[in-house]
Amino acid sequence: MAEKTAEKTAITQDAAVDTLVLAALLRAVGVGDTVTHKALGEAIGRNVQGKARYVVAAARSMVLSEGIAFGAVSGVGLKRLDDRGKVDTADDAIARMRRQSRRALRMLGTVENFEGLATEDQDRLNAGRCVFGAVALMTGQKGVAKIAAKVAEKHAALAVRQGIALFAPEGD
């Protein structure tokens, strides 16, 4: 047991060191420039292509600590995003959220015996359906277009409540 704990600690420490080394490398990448998988791998002495957890951790740490964002360039490496590139990530995130919410709705729809569930579980199921349904509605093409039109009309950000209100039935 003690051996497994020591091994796990050593792996965690290696991962932390690798993440710090990669973060230092990423910090030096200029806006619009790309760092290759090969350069990232050489920095930590291992192949990172297909095993991106250290790279992802380092890239996330850059966003959190310094506001530096990267996007994946398939088969190449990471590109440091300019402001336009950062805005472009919203389209991918919206599409991903829609897919995930629809997948979750399909999964929740497979419950065969709703009445057999405990009341608490019925409530969680119904809450999940509501949340994922709202996300699916708002992230669909029509939903995104509705929000985008309102934002363009105001030429300003919408408060979350204002965005949600766009989907309320007339008369509510």
CATH at residue 46: 1.10.10
Q: Are 146 and 166 in contact (CB under 8 A)?
A: yes
Residues 88 and 76 in one domain: no
Residues 89 and 160 in one domain: yes
The token pair at 154 is 């105001």
Rounded Cα distance, 157 and 141, in Å: 19
- How much is the pTM? 0.73
Domain that holds residue 44: 2-81
How many domains does the chain divide into? 2
Residues 161 and 94 in one domain: yes
Residues 31 and 102 in one domain: no
50 φ, ψ to 5°?
Answer: 85, -10
Domain's final residue, options 81, 103, 121: 81
Query: Would you give the DSSP letter of residue 104?
Result: H
Is 35 contained in some domain?
A: yes
What string of pLDDT tens digits covers the 172 residues of the chain? 555 444 444 445 566 888 888 889 999 999 999 999 899 989 988 888 766 677 888 888 889 888 999 998 988 999 999 999 999 999 999 999 999 999 999 999 999 999 999 999 999 999 999 999 999 999 999 999 999 999 999 898 889 999 999 998 876 5
Q: What is the DSSP string of 21-67?
A: HHHHHHHTPPTT-EEEHHHHHHHHTS--TT-THHHHHHHHHHHHHH-
Residues 33 and 6 in one domain: yes
